Amino acid sequence: MKKFIGLFLSLALACSSFAQMSGYSSSQSDGTALGADLTSDADGISLGNAVKLRGYIQSTFEHKESNDSDRGNPTDFESSADLDLLINLSPVTAEVHLSLSDDNDSQLLEQAFGRYSFNQDLHLTFGRQVTVLGFDGDERPDLFAVTRAYDRGVENRPAKTYVEGVRLNYNNGFLGVIFGLHDHYGLNDNHDNLDDGMAIDLAASVMFFPGLEAQLGFANESGGDDDDDSQQVNGWVSWNPGDLTLAFEFDSFSFSDNRDAFDIMLLANYQFSDFLGATFRYVHMDHHDVEADRLTLAALLSLTENFGLNLEWSYTSSDLKAHDGNEFYIEGLITY
């Protein structure tokens, strides 16, 4: 692990030096997005005065080489399409996110929520929404690699999920705060049977100055009894001085069956030009005394404004033989 961290720091220093010498420019985030109204001014295809359409289509080739001979070396194609409708009837806004996939376990309706804005800083959202804890985005175009940080490892745990409930949101650009009540949070495997349960999440994000942002959040999922409670604490820091993005994230879990889990992620991304970006990512996962390390290198090619070709190699080493091995991905991504 020390060797991986040393490699990350060396890469970060090299990228920072290159960033100072480079003539390329990149957009920085001037404010935190947590709790903000991201519907009213969103980009998209206008379908009228109040409705916009956006989304993406992706197809991914994947090949995995496992050290477990019983698993073989599977090769597969995976495709999906995402369609988002953004409705702006200020002070009321709404979003509907639909997803089509060749995965039989995927759901057609990802998100369907409304928002009432009391003013430009304070909003109430209600309906089916994505959870906010975690550095990775839930949409493919928002990722720094083909896969998410924790797509493979000990438990194949997704970083974000979709929940139903109500959330109070505050955002003034510098500070973002949310407090939500939900039907579940994805922390308990048997949440569908927790009829008397509920979940809460609380998170705050600060943009110290343009490019430097930190977020800390907490979630609790209850099944109605004290013994059913599961908790998650998540925090991350991101620094984006121009074309360079550096990020550190940690996750701590306490599950209702007395299992604990802990994850950390280190990420460095550099946008060499409008055409080429590259990502280095290291993840360590410690889930109930089973440890795994995952190293990822990715190249992100923007062939046109709306078409990208993304390449990824990842290597996982864990205490479980079935999770050791190499992964190769090629993704074609069309956005609109």
- Boundaries of every domain in the chain: 2-335
> Tell me, what's the pLDDT at 321?
63
Q: Is pLDDT larger for residue 108 or for residue 5?
A: 108
Q: How far are the Cα atoms of 16, 111, 153 from residue 268, in angstroms, in the given order?
A: 10, 30, 20
Task: Give 208-240 pLDDT, tens digit per residue.
Answer: 999 999 999 999 998 766 567 899 999 999 999
- Cβ density class 67-88: b for 16+ within 10 Å, e for less: eeeeeeeeeeeeebebbbbbbb
Question: How far, in Å, CA of 149 to CA of 85, rounded?
Answer: 28
Structure tokens at 114: 């409304």
- According to DSSP, the residues that pair with 216 across neighbouring strands are 204, 235
- According to DSSP, the residues that pair with 125 across neighbouring strands are 115, 167
Q: Which letter does DSSP use for residue 137 in this model?
A: -
For residue 30, pLDDT beyond 80: no
72-86, 126-140, 184-198: which is most confident? 126-140
Place of tokens 């949101």: 169
> Tell me, what's the pLDDT at 75?
84
For residue 27, pLDDT beyond 90: no
Confidence of residue 26 (pLDDT cuts 50, 70, 90): very low
Share of the chain above pLDDT 90, in %: 67
Amino acid identity of residue 16, one-letter, is S
48-52, 72-76, 121-125, 182-186: which is most confident? 121-125
Q: What is the mean pLDDT of the chain?
A: 85
Output the pTM of the full model.
0.84
Average pLDDT over residues 80-89: 96
How much is the CA Rg of the chain, to the nearest whole Å?
20
Closest CA to 43 of 53, 33, 34: 53
Average pLDDT over residues 137-160: 80
> Tell me, what's the pLDDT at 28?
41
Amino acid identity of residue 225, one-letter, is D
Find the range with the poorest average confidence among 37-41, 52-56, 166-170, 259-263: 259-263
Q: Quick one: 21 exposed, middle or buried, by C-beta within 10 A (0-12, 13-18, 19+)?
A: exposed
Where does 195-289 show beta strands of DSSP type E?
198-209, 212-222, 230-239, 244-254, 260-271, 276-287
For residue 17, pLDDT beyond 50: no
Instruction: Classify domain 2-335 at the CATH class level.
Output: mainly beta
CB 6 within 8 A of CB 143: no
Residue 308's SS3 state is strand
> Tell me, what's the pLDDT at 195?
52
Question: How far, in Å, CA of 254 to CA of 229, rounded?
Answer: 8
For residue 113, pLDDT beyond 50: yes
Confidence of residue 324 (pLDDT cuts 50, 70, 90): confident
Q: Which residues contact 27 (CB under 8 A, 6 or more apart)?
A: none
Closest CA to 125 of 37, 255, 245: 37
Q: Provide DSSP, 25-61.
A: --PPPSS--TT---STT---EESSSSEEEEEEEEEEE
> Tell me, what's the pLDDT at 139?
92
Average pLDDT over residues 280-299: 93
Average pLDDT over residues 114-123: 97
- According to DSSP, the residues that pair with 62 across neighbouring strands are 76, 329
Amino acid identity of residue 314, one-letter, is S
Residue 16's SS3 state is helix
